[in-house]
Structures are given as structure tokens and as C-alpha cells.
Amino acid sequence: MAVMDLHAVRRRLEANEERLSPFASRAALSRGRRVAEEPSPVRTAYQRDRDRILHTKAFRRLKHKTQVFISPSLDHYVTRLTHTLEVAQVARTITRALNLNEDLAEAASLGHDIGHGPFGHAGEEALAECLPEGFRHNYQSVRVLDRLEGSGEGLNLSFEVLDAIAKSSKAREDIFAEGWGVPETLEGQVVKTADAIAYVNHDIVDAIRAGLISEEDLPSAARQTLGTSHSERLNTLICDAIEASWAATGELTIGGDPTPTIAFSPAVRFAANELREFMFQRVYLYDSTRADAERGKRVVIYLFRHFVSHPDGISPDFSLPGDPIERRAADYVSGMTDRYAIRLARELGCPDAHGWAT
């Protein structure tokens, strides 16, 4: 009986990528990994990266990490995990439409928020105040995947996936601005765009569910341009990104821009940023929302200071033994879920941890 050459499967998948846009990333042409390794016989490099991220403990913990509303006991608010899955779905839709590499976009989407600490951006702010060098979740995501997972060996992901994750964060003033560096691949740019599309929309749904706003409260110009429902806004933003970026990817132009980018039309970009500003004023900086965020910050700072003073309590699974104690404490605390951070802080005597449902 003939024995199948399994590596033929990967070679076929890599050959299929030759049908992609000339500006798409191709797994066979990847800049490689930190440590060279034998390729998978049945998966491309980006498919392998996606699977490695999916099977991490850090990915599983996203289901108990806050997106915006710190409500561990409520079922239907967006969590960091559901946000991540929405980003992956939006990114795959856009990359497929633009004939880019879906596998690269999916892998980066699944890993882009894996470095977020408990209590969402409040936890990020707290750790940034604690560490002299600051703390940003996108850089921590790379650190988790490249250094901390795999018993301190990292996952040895490809350069393109790590680059897209490192540069996935956006400037606060403009959700579609370059901010914090432009990814080297169009797929990385798609992930950054998909992140903005996902969160500006699901945060509205959560704010309505929380009773902070109603659909009718949203800026009329934004509703007129983007739509008057969650699905309409998503559809408008996704379709506009595809349409505005189509020529830039080289599919319809000859001799066009040699450095294409993922873009939005000016009208849609303006409307989306107007919606973002509204959310800051009415939701993100709202007194009760901010009060919970400040409380979460105090819990994170309490835990950080505790483990700096008691390093023996830091789990070796969440830090590297040769690092400075402040770095180890930050790695440990940032890996915690909301409910674990609350429960542990309560056991340690933190007054802010009492009265919070877990």
C-alpha cells in the first residue's frame, strides 16, 4: 500500500496562496521564527501559529477578563474572549474580500489581546503606573506568546504574527489612526482595523444593556452614516473598509500606490470617530463606569505591591525567574482573570475586593 507524503498537504496549501493578491502575505515566504523548526506537514506556518495560540492557557483565561463593564457575574456582557472572536471574524471577512491571507489575520486576531490584565484598560492603566517602563497590553501580548507561554520557552511564532500583535493598538484620538506603529503586513493592518470595528460596536450594545444610553442617544450624523442598529453599523464599517481598500491592495489598479494600506472613506471614518468620542463622554468616562474602573485599578495596584514585597508567592508558570521582581509581579498580576484577582485580593485583605461578585 502506498504511503502518503503528508508534507504534500502543506505544499498544496502554500501553492493555493499563490492565488492571493500580490500584496498578500504568503506563509512560504515568511521571515521565519526566532528558532528555526521543521515545518508542519499539514499546516502552513500561519495556521500552525493560530493553533498554538488557541491552545494556550492565556487564551482560555480571556473568557473571564473584562472588556469594558466589570461585571463578572453577568452573562451577556462582552468579555475579552468574545471580543477576540469578533475581531477574528471581522478580520477574516475583510481579508477574504480583499484576497489577503486569512490564516495570518486570524492568528494575529486571536493573540492581539492575550496580554490584557484583569479589569480591562483599568488594569492596564494600573500596571503602567506601577512599572517604570510602563505597560501596554499589545507588547504584553507579544511577551506572553513569545516568552511566558510554553513553560517560559514561548510559542516560537512567526515574525508576521508577532508584528501584527505588537502593532495592533490604536491611537486614542482616532480609532482608525496608525498609532503605535504600522504593521508590516496588510493582514496586520486589517487586524488593527477589525479591532476598532468590533469594540466600537459591541461597547454600544453593552452600554445600552447597562442602561447608560439608548440607541436614540447616539449622534444623529453617525447614525445617518453608519446605521441605526448594531448589525447595520457593522455592515457599513466592514463594507466601507473593503471598498476603500480594494484598489489599494492592487486588485483593480495597474501602477497604483506601491505601498497600499487598509483604509476607510473620509465620511465613514469621521462618523466612526464621532461615535467613539460620544462613547468616551457618555460611557467610558461615566461616573459609575469610571468608579468601577478605579476600584479595579486599586485591586491591581494592591496585588502588584503585595507580590513585589512577597515574591515567593509569584507562580513560576506566569513569570521568568531571572527577571526583576517588578517585571515578575506585573507578569503574574496581568495574567490573572477578574474573578481570580478579586478573590485573591480579598484573601490578602484588600478592602476594594470586598462586595464584588465573583
User: Is 169:108 a contact under the CB 8 Å cutoff?
Assistant: no
| pLDDT at residue 69, as a whole number | 77
Q: Which pLDDT does position 250 carry in this prediction?
A: 60
Nearest alpha-carbon partner for 190 in 128, 118, 97, 57:
97
Residues 6+ apart with CB under 8 A from 180: 136, 138, 167, 169, 170, 171
- Cα(198)–Cα(181) distance, integer angstroms: 20
Q: How far is CA 116 from CA 40, 65, 279, 296, in A?
A: 30, 8, 21, 13
User: What pLDDT shows up at residue 358?
Assistant: 63
C-alpha cell at position 143: 511577551
pLDDT at position 244 is: 92
The 8-class DSSP code of residue 285 comes to T
CB 348 within 8 A of CB 309: no
Residue 157 is given by DSSP the state -
For the chain, domain boundaries: 43-353
Residue range 43-353 in CATH 1.10.3210.10? yes
Whole-model pTM: value is 0.93
Per-residue pLDDT of the chain (358 residues; tens, 9 = 90+): 555 688 899 999 999 999 999 999 999 999 999 999 999 999 999 999 999 999 999 999 999 998 887 765 667 788 999 999 999 999 999 999 999 999 999 999 999 999 999 999 899 999 999 999 999 999 999 999 999 999 899 999 999 999 999 998 865 545 555 445 789 999 999 999 999 999 989 999 999 988 999 999 999 999 999 999 999 999 999 999 999 998 767 654 444 555 788 989 999 999 999 999 999 899 887 777 788 889 999 999 999 999 999 999 999 889 999 999 999 999 999 999 999 999 999 999 999 998 776 6
Task: Output the CA torsion sign for 102, 167, 111, 174.
Answer: negative
Q: How far apart are the C-alpha atoms of 164 and 105, rounded to whole Å?
A: 8
